[in-house]
Amino acid sequence: MSALNVHHLELFYYVARAGGITPALKLIPYGIQQPAVSSQVAQLEDSLGTKLFHRRPFSITPMGREVFEFIAPFFGGLSQLAANVQGRAGAQLRLAATASVMRDYFPPLLRALEQRVPGLRLSLREATPAGVARLLREHEVDLAFAIHDRRHAEGLQFEPLVKLPLMLLTKDDAPFSNTAAVLRQAASGGVPLIAPPPGDELTEMFWSELRKRGGKWDVRIEAPALDLVEAYVAQGFGVGLTVSQPGRAVARGLRAMKLNGFPQIVYGMFWHGRITAPAQACMELARKFVKAL
């Protein structure tokens, strides 16, 4: 096998990260044309003696995934290296979470963090649990807050912060005395369910327990965020699936009912590899913040 060309490895890193050669052109931090990228990545495959990815439709081969995971910490950490050299890395923190968590819970946490880390520079990224895993593996964020989803957590470090009970959300004037009444009515097909899309950990967990009880309830309206679930319930579109959110009450005119006996969502902090000092400080404050809630 011939010696590997580091530049070819760098191009493959961007191709794998972007999910194709054409989208990689937007990420590569210097001018290069699509034919050149394609040719040089093909040379890398020749050097390795194996195919790294399929072109159409794009998919990474098992060997390509192994190569990517090996080189990603280096190429993904180059911007951090530059900050280290310039003496600014100690004050940088890149966080990921859903938009609602960043809106409702981050402000007091980050105010306290600014007191702990003078001159802190923050970068916030919105992401689903699956997106969190990608951002961490590609070293685009230092710390992420998300639901623990085993399908996406492999290879990541995780610390639970809180367990969140599953809830059904209805309007105050809905004719249901408890969750059992809602589920009985849902079994007849008469109650629309508003919930995160199939594949979301919350919805899958709810369905799994429902199947164990011999029930079934399809999602009528797929809402990608819990505040949207709440908004559509308030507009009378149906019953919502949500979780108990610490320190946050449901909107006026709505009623939240705990799904007793159903499993709870585990929410916490994810990281990958070495944890930075600002991230450690953030983790310490997050533990205290959750206890206070």
187 and 72 fall within a common domain: no
175 and 217 fall within a common domain: yes
92 and 127 fall within a common domain: yes
Q: Which amino acid is at 32?
A: I
Tell me whether residue 82 is in a domain: no
User: What pLDDT score was predicted for residue 264?
Assistant: 94
Containing domain of residue 49, as a range?
A: 6-76
Whether residue 80 has pLDDT greater than 70:
no
Tell me whether residue 81 is in a domain: no
Q: Which of 76, 98, 125 is the last residue of a domain?
A: 76
Helix axes 6-18, 62-76, angle to 10 degrees: 100
User: What pLDDT score was predicted for residue 86?
Assistant: 53
pLDDT band at 32 (very low <50, low <70, confident <90, very high): confident
Tell me whether residue 15 is in a domain: yes
Tell me whether residue 141 is in a domain: yes
122 and 250 fall within a common domain: no
Whether residue 203 has pLDDT greater than 70:
yes
Question: How many separate domains does the chain show?
Answer: 3
Tell me whether residue 106 is in a domain: yes
Tell me whether residue 1 is in a domain: no
Query: In whole angstroms, what is the distance from residue 218 CA to residue 22 CA?
Result: 38
> Chain-wide mean pLDDT for the chain?
89
Q: Angle at Cα 201 formed by Cα 71 and Cα 101, nearest 5°?
A: 80
pTM, rounded to two decimals: 0.69
273 and 135 fall within a common domain: yes
140 and 277 fall within a common domain: yes
184 and 244 fall within a common domain: yes
136 and 196 fall within a common domain: no
User: What pLDDT score was predicted for residue 85?
Assistant: 59
Q: Which amino acid is at 69?
A: E
As a whole number of Å, the end-to-end CA separation of the chain is 58
Tell me whether residue 235 is in a domain: yes
Tell me whether residue 254 is in a domain: yes
Q: Transcribe 145-197 into DSSP letters.
A: EEE--TTT-TT-EEEEEEEE-EEEEEETTSS-SSHHHHHHHHHTT-S-EEESP
User: What pLDDT score was predicted for residue 81?
Assistant: 66
Strand partners, 254: 171
User: What pLDDT score was predicted for residue 83?
Assistant: 60
284 and 139 fall within a common domain: yes
Q: Which of 18, 51, 76 is the last residue of a domain?
A: 76
Q: How many CB atoms lie within 10 A of CB 223?
A: 22
Residues in the chain, overall count: 293
251 and 206 fall within a common domain: yes
Computed from CA positions of residues 237, 243, 245, 246, in that sequence, does the dihedral angle turn out positive or negative? positive
CATH code, 248: 3.40.190.10
